[in-house]
Amino acid sequence: MSTDQPQPTNSFCGNTRREFLWQAGGAFTSVALAGMLAKDGFLQKQALAFDGTTPLTAVNPLAAKLPHFPGKAKSVIFLFMYGGPSHIDTFDYKPDLFKYDGQTIQVKTKGRGGDKSEGRIVGPKWNFKKHGQSGAWVSDLFPHLATCVDDMAFVKSMYAESPIHGSAMLMMNTGKLLGGAPSMGSWVNYGLGSVNQNLPGFVVMLDATGGPISGAKNWTSGFMPALYQGCVLRGKGDPILDLATPSSRSETAQRKLLDRLKMWNTRHALLRSGNSDLESRIESYELAYRMQATAPETIDFTGETAETKNLYGMDEPQTEDFGRKCLLARRLVERGVRFVQIYSGGSHNDANWDAHDDLKTNHDYHAGRTDKPIAALLKDLKRRGMLDDTLVVWGGEFGRQPTAEYAKGTGRDHNSWGFTMWMAGGGIKGGISVGETDELGSIGVGERFHVKQLHATILNQLGIDPNALTYFYAGLDQKLVGVEGAQPIRQVIA
Amino acid sequence: MRSSVLFALFTTLLVGAANGDDALKPSTARIKVIDFNKERQWWSYAPIYDQAPPQVKDQAWCKNDIDRFILAKLEAIGLSPAPQADRVALIRRAFYDLTGLPPSPEEVDAFVNDSRPQAWSELIDRLLASPHYGERWGRYWLDLVRYADTNGFERDGDKPASWRYRDWVIAAFNSDKPYDRFLTEQLAGDELPDRSFDTMVATGYYRLGMWDDEVPDLDQALADDLDGIVDTTARTMLGMGLGCARCHDHKGDPIRQRDYYSFAANFAGLKPYKAFAGNGIEAANVMRSISTDFGMVDFPAARAKWHEQRKAIIDELLAMESSKPDLDRAPNKGLMSHYAFETKADAPEADRAILKNSASDANGKVIDLGWGKPGRFGLAGSFDGGDDRISIPSTIGDDFTISFWFKSDRIARGTESNPLWFTGTGLVDGEISGIVDDFGISIIAGGVIAAGVGNPETFVHSAPGFNDGQWHHVAFTRLKSSGEIILYIDSIEAMRAIGGKQTLKSPKNLVIGAMHPGGGAFTGMIDEVRLYDRVLDRTEIISIATSVGEPTATLASIESNRGKEQAENWRQSYETLNKLEPPAWHGTEVLCAVERDDPQVTHVLTRGSPHAPAEEVQHAVPEIAQGNSLSMGSAMEVYDSESSGRRLALAKWITDPRNQFTSRVMMNRIWQHHFDRAICPTPNDFGHFGETPTHPELLDWLAKQFVASGWSIKQMHRLIMMSAAYQISSNATPESLEKDPANEYISRFRLRRLQSEEIRDSLLAVNGSFNPAMGGPGIRPPMPDEVLATSSRPEEVWPLSEPASWPRRSVYIHAKRSLQDPLLSVFDQADIDNPCPVRFSTIQPTQALTMLNSKLTNGQAVIFADRLRREFPNNVRTQIERAMRLAYGRKVESQEIDDGMRFISDLQSTESMSESDAMNIFALALYNSNEFIYVD
């Protein structure tokens, strides 16, 4: 593992800004300096990395940068429950709903099926109990997570701008309903870089059934360079696309190829003085070679004890897959990866949490596959002292309605007016719950929290001022939280 | 901003909070105080000045006037330009710049050995004539207008026939379509007098944005779609960041929020993509069926031939019956109304106000009409697509026949594939909204004649293509007792159907030349409108349409006068006439501009929210862009009824030679793609948030040259490439690095990495598998399973196109928003959702991994090595030499070949590799080398 320590510099070395900008170099700087430069000039806006000094043609615009202020969290693990888990069947206890089960009552909802003003209540299909010292309500869907509630902060009045998967996924991942904006992980990658140059700074792990709707748009770098986009990592086989040398070629043959290449490229560069890009490209091949040598170690679990693997449920078929991903997430974070996103569920319909027909079957299936691994992740991080600087986020793109979607059955339609997400670690207060929905769980009441405030909270925990992390594009200082900004959810911050 | 406004609104509107948010109420916007005179001093708001090329010391270096501008700046900082590049560097530079492909070794040799002074200019001409030129330069344009083949979001469905727009762009560059015309066709190809299939395709420009067919907020989605058009047009064509003024006055430039919305109003007539219950695309809003022959010679020629044949038979028949052509033989029996349009242009005003009905006392009320033009018989009515129409009393309703002549060359409204008469352009119409007892006849897109009756709605229509600028006769009959309706065009039965049996009494009046409820105004001529209260039979209709006599009487007469044989001849010719169908029109679905009947009123939207409309604005261009005696103002030209003409007026303003934005912006882009850096380095923003130009005088001079050339992009390539500045070496001297570190002064040429498409295309070109086929639907070459697995539908998302298509150029790869080719993506392909004026050019280890380890590069390397083995069997030395020549273009030194031989034999001995496997690796190494990936 190679770790580069950030070293702040804050001078232009006596050069004019423009001269400075066009000099190749990998000097590290702070985001504060970048903020100072943000208003000035095109070149560092479009041709330089976030630090305002590193040209994108240098080998490591992803080099680590100092945050705005010391952050509590060094890394984020975002557990994306794709499809929209039902908050009222999981963490948002609504005793009235049991009472009203089967009754048609007046309640406004908006989902895939459009606007409705009344509907048949579906009582929660699982019982709730209080857990931990904090007495948090958790349904029987999550027996393992229920043992972790004192480390978790629930936000029960989340809301989003769209109750439709396509746009809601983009909102949760990029802060915008329309495609084209960078995803949260890209912003973090851009803002903080990676302390491990042998691994990507932003890693995404997908469900075996396929990606979420819009695929790569969920981890895109949008209008930023592609180098900030999420890297899809697989828990088995070749972890990263094209990381492995083709099986027909030995590693020594690969090295010979690289040596030959270096010889040619060096000779080529010697004849072309003053073009630092050429040296950068030579260096990029050495970096690639080191990645090849070190990255596979990350997915090699031989160093993990049987106890750990079993903790994650890797010994049971039902939890093996998600358990492997959660353990991998811990290993990635250990190695300095900034942002890890794991999708629970993929593809369409019941292959994810989108329980339109049979709520019971759907949620039993998805919770059953993830409950134990996620609880294990929290416990494992905690016992290793890593939970303090690892922020774990759980949730989907929206929640679900208290009423049935169809005349028969238990399926619930989408609900973006009120739903629950939880966070743990990374400077988040454990054992608390903020915000609430009405007595039916149909809409947030009192103080409600927009998706952008979740984004602001995540950036804040990483030491980034969400309203100062900007990227100049199309005439605007673009932000993850939108040009008007958003405040973190202060109540959950320790 | 708009999202946060939206969620505030969302809470209020959708959740139903009792009190409205302030953000909902139209606010009295603070109007930004702008000193326009002062602002017009800013370089891009100022007019283009005549710039004389400056004086320089080293006259001998200058090959043309460009060089004087460059050299003067260099001399001022005490620098000399780099020496001329060597000839290999020059030909490689020219090939990649103009075609995006490498020269073959033979082409390199021919150029290197050609010492004639004109060798360079001939090379440029040859490359400009290559069809690959349009593929290369069209790609830049596609980046700017955010070209995509899919709509994004959950289904990420295909845009129907979007590829035609891509092909149009490539063809436009190849044919050196003048840039003013190039823009005009995209903006208003449907509004042009000389529109054609191709100009309709060009308006696909408006359909390239993303579209969610399942929107959470339709008003917002429509506003976002329009914003994409406004922002792309302003940035791409004017270099103006107008999109910044969507929510508030521009923070840096003299652009008010009002300017944004008045500019947006130019596009307010466009029908948008439409969401509907089925979560699809309503084709009628964004597509039209147009014959590929439309506006071109083939179809009219076939039509003309048909008219000729028909006329010959008619003449023959008339001669046999000793009758005259052009005799109006319409029967009088049952004639209720007849409008003959026999009013001369100089007739007194009083006579024009009332259109005489020669069959009854009922008069038509003329709203407006062009008079006195020659018609089918005598004079005819001429309709200009504006207000022109005539309202006539309906004198029919039970059994009836409507008979008239018309002639038009317009596309008309509606959809050819679903030709419902009331969606068309009115001919003789009595449509009343709802399921009522009405009827009418219209012309639909593609020249379909449509007719129908209401309650139950019953429709008939003809084949397309009757908008061919010729006179055609229409007869529409209805029999009350059976409810049967029949439509005849030129006396040939087009279609029949059974409708209701009630009296069709709803319309009190019928409208000639427009739709009865308004809109659908006809452009063309109409003559001899007759309403009968009976069903005319086929022979009567033939007599009206052809002037040929009724057969029973005519045959009897001929037989008695000329004998049986002549009568039989007549009968046979009559049969032939009845069977002579017009040539078929083959409509093709085109993604294009389709306008509403009435452009929507445009409002300033408070804080950009479509739920908070404020003051109304008129269509215009931004105030800062007016002046210099050039103003769009009221110069709206309403061309015909199919659209408002606003976009054509806008196109005229944008392409006016006095418009200082258009020529500067495009000239800056042309320069950019030759020097890998634009004169103004922010090509999409010439405002205060952009960078200032390094050579403003040169840019003005070039802009003037551009307009003077007739907006010829190819001439500008020639001009730039013939300069000495374009031909200098990329090698930097210490002085040049010291005094011009960023190479802003062009003291040396800018070495550049190939762009993503150039890299992929070069792999194919060098290994000989390249398939030069052009155009057509997007190709889908193999995609790694790992990438497919990221899709929500891994099995269906990327059906492979036929293998022969895989080695085609990258510009033809199906542009899908949710799935990107990994090689193109990692080498900084333009983001598909955003306008991209400058590609990033990053250097990343993941690029190295892709080039070293991917199936694509390894597979192509094997094809490369196979080619060498095939061409030079059993001769490794020659294989190595040829491989390097193909990859680099230049001659290879024997020492390099020796090195290669050692590499091969080393792999063979230490890795126990076959010679062939070792050669595969050698080929892969070449693909990875900087000399292959960089252009000097």
Q: What is the pLDDT of residues B639-652, one digit of tens each?
A: 455 677 889 989 99
CA separation for the pair B825, B822 (Å, rounded): 5
Model confidence pLDDT, tens digit, residues B444-484: 877 899 999 998 989 999 988 888 788 999 999 999 999 99
- B269 pLDDT exceeds 90? no
ipTM: 0.84
Helix (H, G, I), strand (E, B) or coil at B524: strand
Within an 8 Å CB–CB cutoff, is residue B83 touching chain A?
A: no
For chain A, say whether B691 makes contact (Cβ under 8 Å).
yes
For residue A448, is pLDDT > 90?
A: yes
**Residue A247 three-state SS:** coil
Tell if the CB–CB gap between B925 and A257 is shorter than 8 Å.
yes
User: How many Å lie between the alpha carbon of A477 and the closest alpha carbon of chain B?
Assistant: 11
Structure token digits, residue B917: 């496997």
**Interface residue B692 vs chain A (CB under 8 A):** no
Res A113 pLDDT > 90: no
**pLDDT higher than 90, residue B827:** yes
Chain A residues within 8 A of B834 when measuring between CB atoms: 180, 222-223, 473-474
Q: What is the mean pLDDT of residues B595-600?
A: 74
Specify the pLDDT at position B630.
57
**C-alpha distances in Å from residue B910, one per residue of A171, B905, B914:** 55, 8, 11
> Which chain B residues in 235-274 lie under 8 Å from chain A, judged by CB atoms?
235, 241, 243-244, 250, 252
Q: How far apart are CA B609 and CA B4, in angstroms?
A: 10
Q: Give the pLDDT confidence score for residue B299 in this predicted structure.
A: 64
Surface-to-core class of residue B386, CB atoms within 10 Å of its CB (0-12 exposed, 13-18 middle, 19+ buried): middle
Q: Per-residue confidence at B325, pLDDT binned at 50, 70, 90?
A: confident
**C-alpha to C-alpha distance for B588 and B590, rounded to whole angstroms:** 6
pLDDT in tens, B228-240: 999 999 999 999 9
Q: What is the mean pLDDT of residues B692-707?
A: 97
Chain A positions in Cβ-Cβ contact with residue B843 (cut-off 8 Å) = 56-59, 277, 280-281, 284
Residue B301's pLDDT band, with cuts at 50, 70 and 90, is: confident
Contacts of B295 by beta carbon, 8 Å cutoff, 6+ apart: B194, B195, B196, B197, B198, B199
Q: Which residues contact B806 (CB under 8 A, 6 or more apart)?
A: B771, B779, B781, B782, B800
For the beta carbon of residue B537, count every other beta carbon within 10 angstroms: 12
Give how far B169 is from chain A: nearest CA, Å: 23
- pLDDT the model gives residue B1: 28
Q: What's the confidence (pLDDT) of residue A133?
A: 97
| Architecture of the structural domain at B328-546 | Sandwich (2.60)
Inter-chain contact A252–B751, Cβ cutoff 8 Å?
Answer: no
Given a contact cutoff of 8 angstroms between Cβ atoms, the answer to whether B237 and B180 are in contact is no
* Lowest-pLDDT range of B227-241, B269-283, B328-342, B803-817: B269-283
Cβ atoms within 10 Å, residue A360: 16
- A229: helix, coil or strand? coil
Cβ contact B930–A278 (<8 Å)? yes
Q: Best residue in B155, B792, B910 to probe A by mutation, most A CBs within 10 Å? A: B792
- What pLDDT does B631 receive? 61
Is B842–A249 a contact, with Cβ atoms under 8 angstroms apart? Answer: no
The DSSP element (H or E) to which B198 belongs, if any, is helix B197-202
A222 and B833: CB-CB below 8 Å? yes
Are B244 and A476 inside 8 Å of each other by CB? yes
Per-residue pLDDT of B395-453, as tens digits, reads: 999 999 999 999 988 777 777 777 889 988 999 999 988 788 999 999 987 789 999 99
Chain A (56-115) residues lying within 8 Å, Cβ to Cβ, of chain B: 56-59, 61, 108, 110, 112, 115
Q: Provide, rounded to the nearest whole percent, the portion of chain B with pLDDT above 70.
A: 91
Rounded mean pLDDT of A348-367?
96
Whether residue A213 and residue B154 make contact (CB cut-off 8 A), yes or no, is yes
Q: Select from A23, A178, A280 the Cβ nearest to the Cβ of B843.
A: A280
pTM equals 0.81
| Residue (of B832, B809, B835) closest to B820 by Cα position | B832
* Contact map slice: A 252-271 vs B, CB within 8 A: 252-254, 256-258, 260-261, 263-265, 268-269, 271
Write down the pLDDT at residue A472.
Answer: 84
> ∠ at Cα A327 (A325, A332), nearest 5°?
90
Confidence of residue A177 (pLDDT cuts 50, 70, 90): very high
pLDDT of A41 > 70? The answer is: no
Say whether residue A210 is in contact with chain B using an 8 A CB cutoff.
Answer: yes
Which residues, 6 or more positions from B290, have their beta carbon under 8 angstroms from its beta carbon? B197, B200, B411, B445, B446, B587, B588, B590, B592
- List every span in chain B annotated with CATH 2.60.120.200: 328-546
Shortest CA distance to B728 belongs to which of B96, B60, B61, B85? Answer: B85
Highest mean pLDDT among A221-230, B252-261, B381-390: B252-261
Cβ of A252 within 8 Å of Cβ of B744? The answer is no
Contacts of A454 in chain B (CB under 8 A): none
- The reported pLDDT for the residue numbered B844 is 86
Residues B281-308: what's their mean pLDDT? 68
Mean pLDDT of the B586-609 span: 84
What is the average per-residue pLDDT within A31-59? 43
Which pLDDT band holds residue A66 (cuts at 50, 70, 90)?
Answer: confident
> Is the pLDDT confidence value at A65 over 50?
yes
Tally C-beta pairs within 8 A across A and B: 301
Task: Report the pLDDT averaged over residues A57-65.
Answer: 65
CA angle B88, B93, B97 (to 5 degrees): 155
A39 versus B643: the higher-pLDDT residue is B643
8 Å CB contact between B484 and B467: no
For chain A, what is the largest distance between any 2 Cα atoms, rounded to a whole number of angstroms?
Answer: 82
3-state secondary structure of B402: strand
Mean pLDDT of chain B: 89
CB < 8 Å from B in window 472-491 of A:
473-476, 482-484, 486
Mean of all residue pLDDT scores within chain A: 87
Chain A residue numbers touching B936 (CB-CB < 8 A) = 272
> Cα(B615)–Cα(A63) distance, rounded to whole angstroms?
50
Residue of A nearest to B896 (CA): A264
Segment A260-301, tens digit of pLDDT: 999 999 999 998 887 888 988 999 999 899 989 888 899 899
Nearest-Cα residue of chain B relative to residue A276 = B751
